[in-house]
Amino acid sequence: MELAALYLGSAVVGGIVAVLLRLPPLVGFLAAGFLLGGSGAPEPEYIGAIADLGVALLLFGIGLKLDLRSLLRREIWLTTAAHMVLTIAVAVGFLGLLGVVGLTLLTDESLRTFALVAFALTFSSTVFVVKVLDERSDATSLYGRIAVGVLIMQDLAAVVFMAMAADELPSPWAIALVLLLPGAWVLRRVWDHIGHGELQALFGVAAALVLGFWLFELAGVSGDVGALVMGVLLAPHPRSSDLSRSLLTLKDLFLVAFFLQIGMHGIPGPDHMLLAALLLLLLPLKIVMYALLLWLMRLRRRTSFLTALVLGNYSEFGIIVLAVGVEAGMLDEEWVTVIALAVAASFVVSAAVNRRGVELASWISRLLPARDASRLHPDDRLVDVGRADAIVLGLGRVGSTTYERLRDEYGLSVVGVEHDQTRVAALEERGFHVVQADATDVEFWARVRRAGHVRVAVLAMPFHKANLIALARLQAAGFEGRVAAIARYDDDVHELRRNGADAVFHLYGAAGAELADQAAEVLMAGR
């Protein structure tokens, strides 16, 4: 218990320090792991198992949101393949150059070692990228979907490598895993009768860890792939998003162990730290290559750079790949320590960059030539809100109700903005006028200004940061209408008002007032 308290206390302190430095808490968890490892603190036997659970639940959550057809899109599979080839070529040349100038760790190393290390550097962190997208509420935006698709293709490449390096074939029983296809239909029917409480969360954990992770491991296939597959098989259920939200806190707690564990891959020496720092020089090249490749796929400059910036880091999978290589005798164990340091450092750099990622992407997009709108990717063309009187940003439960009220009760011409493709299609079937777009996109807001007719904008997105960014975009575009917004907490209400919102409604307070009105109506009707 004392050891658990040490690790929990270190994680809490590290997370708080990171937040005070305006960095994601995961950076503090990584730093705590390195300090614990460097101080000689014993590693708890259970931390690896907890970390594995966190990663499995993370991949299960990705699967719940994944459209497999998206992986077949050229901007995902071709970008992934081309970027991996280019990164390996650049990284091998860079490592060779460092060996020539006499860096100690690189002298007398083979080309195979360079190639394997370069392969490990091609991956971007699934854990880091998904957390950044979640914090921005951009997991279902176009650039978010592309980033997640690239990550999944990379993870599949890593799984293939690990299977080949281990020189072990899956169990003959692995073929029986195809029974999960009809079995998933049964699971979805069972899910219909579970409800929304703790039993649903338990159902999700069992599906991810038992039918996914454990069953696939038993069949000689990666358990992480199993968790992802189970998420994909259950994704068609109407309550998949609800399940993903209910598992969010549990997943985040388990991932704390994962980040602590990354920092404990040996005590680094000066040579390890120097090489890890030099490897960070490849990150700008990695970002530029992503942006250029995506631009060549006819995506807008801003979309290309937004995707590139979130993918501009190294991955925990790189550590796993090298660990497998060490077990197979392909390279020395000290490379695991070097890559662990590079991964942690890349998280710090990427966190600092992505804290201003939306603004930075808009600024550096000028480095690429503009493309004619008619030649843009169909999913990335600019949209026009037309002659609407009101615009509602975010069409979840609150936003869609607001849309209907403005249209039906007040007779306004309303347009909704939503970046979730599935939700857009469902609302259009109900007669909503919806454009699929990113409300934080400065170019989108420029189009809204040119429409010149919108009198009120309603910020109804579920995440406070997204509403703040949209508010800033409105102001930067010269929007002269009124702005109303929702907020969950008192300090969010004050922040929105300080930043120029004309009216802010406390979500829970407004619900209480509505409930009181309904109760009063029932009381009067009963007299």
Q: Cβ(444)–Cβ(382) under 8 Å?
A: yes
The token pair at 450 is: 């040119």
More confident residue, 256 or 83: 83
| Residue 281 confidence (pLDDT) above 90 | yes
Whole-number Cα distances in Å, 273 to 278, 334, 337, 338, 353: 9, 11, 9, 7, 21
Strands annotated E in 343-502: 390-393, 414-418, 434-436, 456-459, 482-487
Query: Of 13-17, 419-423, 461-465, 517-521, which has the strongest mean pLDDT?
Result: 13-17
Which pLDDT score is estimated for 95? 92
HSE of 486, CA atoms in CB hemisphere, 13 A: 22
Looking at the predicted structure, is the pLDDT value of residue 249 above 80? no
Q: Work out the mean pLDDT of the chain and round it to a whole number.
A: 83
Residues 6+ apart with CB under 8 A from 425: none
Per the listing, tokens 């698709």 go with: 149
Residue range 382-525 forms a domain whose CATH class is: alpha beta
63-73 confidence digits (pLDDT tens): 887 667 777 88
Contacts 24+ apart (CB under 8 A), 23-28: 23/348, 23/351, 23/352, 23/355, 24/131, 24/132, 24/135, 24/347, 24/351, 26/127, 26/128, 26/131, 26/255, 26/259, 26/347, 26/351, 27/347, 27/348, 27/351
Q: What span, in angstroms and rounded, lies between the C-alpha atoms of 65 and 139? A: 9
Let me know if domain 2-39+46-367 sits in CATH 1.20.1530.20: yes
Q: pLDDT higher for 496 or 137?
A: 496
pLDDT exceeds 60 at position 188 = yes
| pLDDT at position 445 | 65
For residues 341-351, average pLDDT: 87
**For helices 142-166 and 223-234, angle between their N-to-C axes, nearest 10 degrees:** 140
The neighbour count for residue 63, using CB atoms within 10 Å, is 25
Looking at residue 61, its pLDDT comes to 81
Of 284-293, 321-330, 401-410, the one with minimum mean pLDDT is: 321-330
Answer whether residue 168 shows pLDDT above 80.
no
Say yes or no to pLDDT of 229 above 70.
yes
Q: Which two tokens stand for residue 416?
A: 């909704």
What is the model's pLDDT at position 450? Answer: 55
- 61 vs 69: CA distance, rounded Å: 17
The pLDDT score that the predictor gives to residue 448 is 60
Q: Tokens 């802010």 — which residue?
A: 504
Amino acid at 23: L
**Looking at residues 100-124, what average pLDDT do you find?**
88
Span 111-137, average pLDDT: 86
Kindly state the average pLDDT of the residues 106-116.
86
pLDDT at 522: 67
CA–CA distance, 8 with 14 (Å, rounded to integer) = 10
Determine the Cα angle at 127 with ends 122 and 131, to 5°. Answer: 125
Residue 527 in this model has a pLDDT that exceeds 60: no
* Mean predicted confidence (pLDDT) in 226-253: 83
Work out the percent of the chain whose per-residue pLDDT is above 70: 89
Q: Greater confidence, 287 or 351? A: 287
Which range scores top for mean pLDDT: 162-166, 179-183, 426-430? 426-430
- Residue 414 pLDDT grade (very low, low, confident, very high; cuts 50, 70, 90): very high
More confident residue, 268 or 432: 432
Q: 3-state class of 434 per DSSP?
A: strand
Taking only the tens place, the pLDDT of each residue in 128-166 is 888 788 777 677 677 888 998 898 889 778 877 876 776
More confident: 198 or 297: 297
Q: What pLDDT score was predicted for residue 82? A: 96
Residue 78 pLDDT: 94
Domain boundaries, the chain: 2-39+46-367, 382-525
The DSSP result for 441-475, as a single string, is: -HHHHHHHHHH----EEEE--SSHHHHHHHHHHHH
Cα 310 from Cα 132, distance rounded (Å) = 7
Alpha carbons 246 and 132: distance in angstroms, whole number: 19
**What is the model's pLDDT at position 87?**
95
Give the C-alpha separation, 390 to 409, whole Å.
Answer: 13
